[in-house]
A and B are shown apart, each in its own frame.
Chain A
Amino acid sequence: MKFNTVIIGGGLCGLTCGIALQKAGRSTAIISTGQNALHFFSGSFESLTEAPARMADLFGEAGIRLHYREGVRLMPLGTFRPAALSLEDISFFPKPKIGEKALIVSFKRYHDFFAAFLADGLEKQGVACRIEWLDLPELEQLEKSPSEMRSVQIARTMDRIWEKVVGEIRALVQDEDIIILPQVFGLKDTSVPIRIRESLPAQVVFVGTLPPSVPGIRTQMLLKRRYELLGGTYLTGDEATDAHVHEGRVHSIVTKNLDNHFLEADNFVLASGGFFSKGLKSNPFHIFEPVFGLDVEQAENRSDWYHPQFMHDQPYMAYGVKTDAALHALREGAPMQNLYAAGSVLGATRPEFGSGAGLAVRSALAVVDQILKTEAE
């Protein structure tokens, strides 16, 4: 099967790239090996402050609204970070003293949201906190399998009963000016978080839970739906296993499911992610890129890959595929003419700061520009 561009990786980077190319009238296929880092998305594009105009359009057309205002964001453990371009779920404040009094509401027997940490952090900023736990009969079902009392399962219930829950929260509010809720709203219906904000008498702040990320899964679903609506081919659960390369040009890709039916294209984009997504792999001697065998930045000795102190900056997290300035991937020191690398496979991100999302979108758009520019020449 032949396409204009075949993209390896179906996460934020691959989908952004695919949507932009489909919009430009190019036929594309995305090979997606299992689900991706959007399932751990904080809701913020950490390294970006304002959306490039094209990104705001691409996301807006998919039904994802973004915003940014200078200031700070409240993090799940009660700390603060500088504001960054974010989904509408995320709130910004001028300073860490976000109000006088905060009401933190969670659900009984839900362990993936840390109300006490939040309260502790906020009280250090001079915000008085009160924690309330809702006991909802609708969640009793979930508790039959205690391991399944998770964000996504709760969110499915909340999509049905959020109005009732808002009523119960309203009854709890005394004189608080801030209400803090876990991010378990609006899995399918993007308007729910906004409508909750409109229905409560104080400023509502949604704070992240342990994974899976509800706003992240919603973002993934909306981007994928938009991509398919534009005619893109999304190969779910497949895996690029090999490539046919001739004189520095990729001719086609071999996948696990299509075996001898190769995917041909004029351009290829490697957006296969970092170590977690197996875009990068390691053995005791090397860090390598498994599909093309591209050059990967790394220290020669394994003992230099990591720092013995776990919380220290870990050098291996910065390792990634080498490219030239136009993001052509390098193999044996030479740029591949029609293979571009984008997103976390480039390394240079700090997962603990969530900076992967910003890199994913920016490098995806840069690659799209390169592809269109090269075609025009």
Chain B
Amino acid sequence: MKLQEYTESKYNFEECMKCTICTAYCPVLQVNPLYPGPKQAGPDGERLRLKDPFFFNYALKYCLNCKRCEVACPSGVKVADLIQSARIRYDHSKPKLRDRILASTDFMGSLARPFAPMVNGVTKMGVTKAVLDGTMKIDKNRTFPKYSGRSFEAWLKRQAPAQAAFPEQVAYYHGCYVNYNYPQLGKDLVKVLNALGVGVQLLDKEKCCGIAMITNGMSQQATRHARHNVAVIGAAAAKGLKVVTTSSTCTLTLRDEYPGLLGVENQVVRDSLLMATRFIYEKLEKGAQLRFRPDFHKRIAYHTPCHLEKLGWGIFSEKLLRMIPGVEFTMLDSNCCGIAGTYGFKKENYAASQAIGAPLFEQIRNVNPDVVACDCETCKWQIEMSTQYPVANPISILAEALE
């Protein structure tokens, strides 16, 4: 008897029983009265939009896509997917130049990288920020991510023969951030995996996962990236390789947003892609060993990024960090930091972005850790800018603690 299965819709919106729990967990609703809230923007609005697209509300652009409504929903409604897919289906306005620039992280990275010292100097300047604020509506209070002079891909290519010598191999989907902004995280991953006897390879030319394109009205470009990435990850999987990642948002996008929002089938990704923290934890569970420095001591406060909470894999980061001798671990309350990728860079969102993060920043100041651990690069920018505490990926902390 499959009657109920046959009546389920893609995002399960008819399961909504109007309990309003999602509205209690939406970070935007707490700070931006122009946003109609996840219940109204999601299942309630969908009912109207199905009657007539006229009912599409442009205020849906205020959704952070943090997925906290979905995590909170007791009825399994894909509230955030409903909202993002409505934006894809009904918002046909052309994205602004600013949004196109913010969304094109790998294109901008490849442009900026050769001139990194100059670009970093210029984007730090008050006058540049004022001009960007005035002309592009990129908020002047933001600190821009720095670009690295040499890309991670170039670095790893030079290591290829040494990496190939390890008995076990994985491929690494590093993402734009590791490649252009912070290759050190990639190098830290290589260090930890090498210590476990695992060599690291690049994929055959990965592209940006495309999440910023999805949220900035460029779903066609995102779909092209999705098809490409599914193909190269599939090629690695065909060689028997697992594909590891260090960014929670890239991971969620590759696993869940491709089929959910872009309609790109990706079973091969779901079967072979996993966060490096999970890969390492599972190796240790099977008996592999890491040797830690005896003098390592750190007070670590761990922030679970929204997308990692949605994936449900924060547990691996937590368990790995707790495993390091000399770590004093504090789990921070589940709160959104407010940046949500490109969202917080936009002038119209800056105030809301900082207000959303305020409870998290306050808790970090109270805990006063040596370092905040977090698996998301944009959370890192936001927390470092807003609290002055250093933020490190759990992989980097593991690398630092190794003997």
Contacts and interface: CB of A to CB of B under 8 A. Distances in A.
Q: Which 9 residue pairs are nearest across A and B when measured between Cβ atoms?
A: A257-B312, A237-B71, A34-B74, A144-B33, A152-B24, A141-B33, A238-B312, A35-B21, A35-B72
Interface string A107-151: 000000000000000000000000000000000011111011010
Given A35-B72, A237-B72, A147 B37 contact: yes
A284 interface: yes
Interface string B292-317: 00000000000000000111110100
B324 to A, nearest CB: 16
A236 B334 contact: yes
A203 interface: no
11 contacts: A34-B75, A142-B33, A145-B36, A211-B20, A221-B333, A236-B334, A237-B71, A237-B72, A239-B76, A256-B312, A258-B313
A152 to B, nearest CB: 4
A153 B72 contact: no
Interface string B11-35: 0000001011101110001100111
Contacts of A81: none
A283 B3 CA distance: 9
B146 interface: no
A257 B251 CA distance: 13
B285 interface: yes
A306 interface: no
B21 A148 contact: no
Interface in B235-287: 278, 282, 285
A351 to B, nearest CB: 13
Contact of B333 (A40, A217, A225): A225
Nearest to B333: A225
Interface string A204-244: 00000001100001000100010010000101111100000
Given A145-B36, A148-B23, A148-B37, A237 B70 contact: yes
B3 A236 contact: no
Nearest to A147: B40
A145 B40 contact: yes
Contacts of A256: 312
Contacts of B311: 257
Contacts of B23: 148, 150, 152-153, 212
Interface in B43-78: 44, 70-76
B21 A212 contact: yes
Nearest to A112: B20
Contacts of B334: 236
B206 interface: no
B37 A145 contact: yes
Contacts of B309: 236-237
Contacts of B278: 261
Contacts of B74: 33-36, 276-278
Nearest to A31: B312
B39 A147 contact: yes
A284 B282 contact: no
A241 B306 CA distance: 23
B83 to A, nearest CB: 14
B33 A34 contact: no
A15 to B, nearest CB: 15
A34 B72 contact: yes
Contacts of A35: 21, 24-25, 72-74
Given A211-B19, A235-B315, A39 B24 contact: yes
A148 B72 contact: no
A130 to B, nearest CB: 30
Contact of A212 (B1, B17, B24, B37): B24
Nearest to A155: B24
Contacts of A257: 311-313
A156 interface: yes
Interface residues of B, number: 41
Contact of A237 (B1, B312, B318): B312
Interface string B129-150: 0000000000000000000000
Interface string A23-52: 000000000011110011000000000000
A152 B26 CA distance: 11
Contacts of A284: 1, 3
A217 B24 contact: yes
A256 B20 CA distance: 24
B34 A233 contact: no
Contacts of A4: none
A39 B17 CA distance: 14
Contact of B35 (A145, A212, A228): A145
Contacts of A1: 285, 315, 319
A314 interface: no
A238 to B, nearest CB: 5
Given A34-B21, A34-B72, A147-B36, A255 B29 contact: no
Contacts of A261: 278, 282
B313 A34 contact: no
Nearest to B22: A35
A148 B29 contact: yes
Given A39-B24, A261-B278, A233 B37 contact: no
Nearest to B36: A145
Interface in A250-265: 255-258, 261
A353 interface: no
A39 B21 contact: yes
B160 interface: no
Contacts of B366: none
B93 interface: no
B105 to A, nearest CB: 27
A285 interface: yes
A153 B315 CA distance: 30
A212 B312 contact: no
B122 interface: no
Nearest to B17: A276
Contacts of B40: 145, 147-148
A72 to B, nearest CB: 29
B233 to A, nearest CB: 17
Nearest to A140: B33
A225 B24 CA distance: 17
B319 A258 contact: no
